[in-house]
Amino acid sequence: MIPAGAIDCDIHAAVPSIRALLPHLEPYWREHILRRGLERDNLEASAFPVAAPINARPDWQPASGLPGSSLAEMRAHILDPLQPRAAICNVIHGAQMMMSEDLSAALCRAINNWLAAEWLDRDPRLRASIVVPVHSPDLAAEEIERMAPDRRFVQVLLLAMTELPLGRRQNWPIYRAAEKHGLPVGIHAGSSFRHPPSAGGWGSFYLEDYVSYAQGFAGALNSLLAEGVFQKFPALRVVLIESGVSWLPASLWRINKTWRGMRAEVPWLDRMPSDIVRERVRLTAQPFDAPPDAGALETLLAQFGSDEMLLFATDYPHWHYDGADPLPAGFPPGLLRKLLVDNALATYPRLAA
C-alpha cells in the first residue's frame, strides 16, 4: 500500500474528442477544424487497438467515452484512494505528431489550454506536461514559452520514436526552451506511427510492437548522448516515461564499452555515458518489467548504480497492476521514500517550489 503524499509522475488525462477542444482553440483554427469536419475524429494516438485490455484496467473502465477522459472518474479511481501530493498528467494525442505543423501546434495549444481549464483548475493535486508539436521544434519552443509562466506545467512532453532521432540539432530549440524554464523533458512511449517501431521495419504482431518500444527508448537515449545534448544544455533533465526499466543497465554497459574506443568521434562526450545518464536521466517505474523474484529485483536496482533514478508512477488508467499497490513485489522498503517523493522533487523543480 502506498502512503498518502506520493508523487505520481505519470497519469493520463485523455482528450475525449476534438469537440471538447473547440472552446480552447483560437477562432481561426476552430473554423478550420469545423470546415474540414475534423471535430468528428478524435485523433486518438493510442499505439494499441482501442479496445486492448492494457488501455484501461477493468475496474477503471469508464461508463462511457475514453478511459481517463473524466476527472470525476480519475478522482474516484486513483486520486482519492492514492492521495498523491501531486500527479503529472501526460496527454498523448494525434496533435503531437500530425503532418501539418501549424495545425499540430494549434491543437497542442488547445490541449494545453484545455488541461489548464478542465483539469488543473479543478483539482489542486494535478500538474501537467506541456504538449508540443514534436516535429516542429520552433513552434514547440514557442509553446513552451507560452505555457512556462503557468507553474502547474512541470515538464515538456516528447515521444520516444519520432521522425528524427531526438538528439539531432534540429530539435535543440525544444531543449533550449525547456532548460531555460527549468522544465525537464519527458519522453513518453509513443511514435509518430509513420515509421516502423523497430529498426528492422514493421512487425506483424502487437506483442513485438510493444516489446520493441524499449529499443525505441534506447535509440532515443543514445541519440541524446551522442549528439551532446547533455553537454549543450547542462541543466537539462530527461525523464523516460513508460519506457520499462530493465533494458537500461545493459544498454548503458554497451554504450560505455563502445564509447571507450569510439569517443574521439564524439569528443564532447567526455565522460562515461552511464555517468551522464545517472546524473541527468530519470525513469518512471510503471510499467516495471518485473524481474521474477525479489533477489533479481535487487540485482537490477544495483545495476542502475543509483537509487535516484526511478520515479513513482501509476500510469493510470493503463492496466499494469491490480489492486492498490503499483510497486513491483519486493521493492526494498529503504528506497521507498526516494521512489515515492524525493526523486521526483529533485527532478521537477516546480514540484519542490
User: Exposure of 284 by Cβ count < 10 A (0-12 exposed, 13-18 middle, 19+ buried)?
Assistant: buried
Give the shortest CB-136-to-other proteins separation in angstroms. Answer: 22
Q: Please, what is the minimum distance in Å from the beta carbon of residue 260 to other proteins?
A: 4
**65 or 165, CB closer to other proteins?**
165
- For other proteins, the closer of residues 43 and 164 by Cβ is 164
Least distance between other proteins and beta carbon 267 (Å): 4
**280 or 338: CB nearest other proteins:** 280
Based on CB atoms, which residue is closest to other proteins, 126 or 185? 185
* Beta-carbon-side half-sphere exposure of residue 102 (alpha carbons within 13 Å): 6
Give the residue with the Cβ less far from other proteins, 215 or 231: 231
Q: Provide, rounded to whole angstroms, the least separation between the CB of residue 264 and other proteins.
A: 5
**Measuring CA to CA, which residue among 44, 26, 193 is closest to residue 112?**
26
DSSP bridge partners of 201: 198
How far apart CA 331 and CA 295 sit, in angstroms, is: 10
Nearest distance, CB of residue 169 and other proteins, angstroms? 8
Pairwise CA distance, residues 298 & 161, whole Å: 30
Min separation Cβ 259 and other proteins, Å: 7
Residues near other proteins (CB under 8 A): 169, 227-229, 231-232, 259-264, 266-268, 270, 272
At its nearest, how many Å lie between other proteins and the CB of residue 219?
18
Cell of 348: 521537477
Give the torsion sign (CA, 240, 246, 247, 251): positive
In the bound state with other proteins, the residue whose beta carbon lies nearer, of 203 and 228, is: 228
**Cα 330 to Cα 327: distance, rounded to the nearest angstrom:** 8
Give 231 or 306: the residue with its C-beta nearer to other proteins.
Answer: 231
| Spatial separation of the C-alpha atoms in residues 313 and 300, rounded to whole Å | 18
d(CA 313, CA 10): 5
Q: How far apart are CA 277 and CA 291, in angstroms?
A: 22
Task: Name, in order, each residue with C-beta under 8 angstroms of 36's C-beta and a sequence gap of 6 or more.
Answer: none
Residue written as grid cell 483539469: 119
CA angle (81 as vertex; 187, 14 as ends), nearest 5: 40
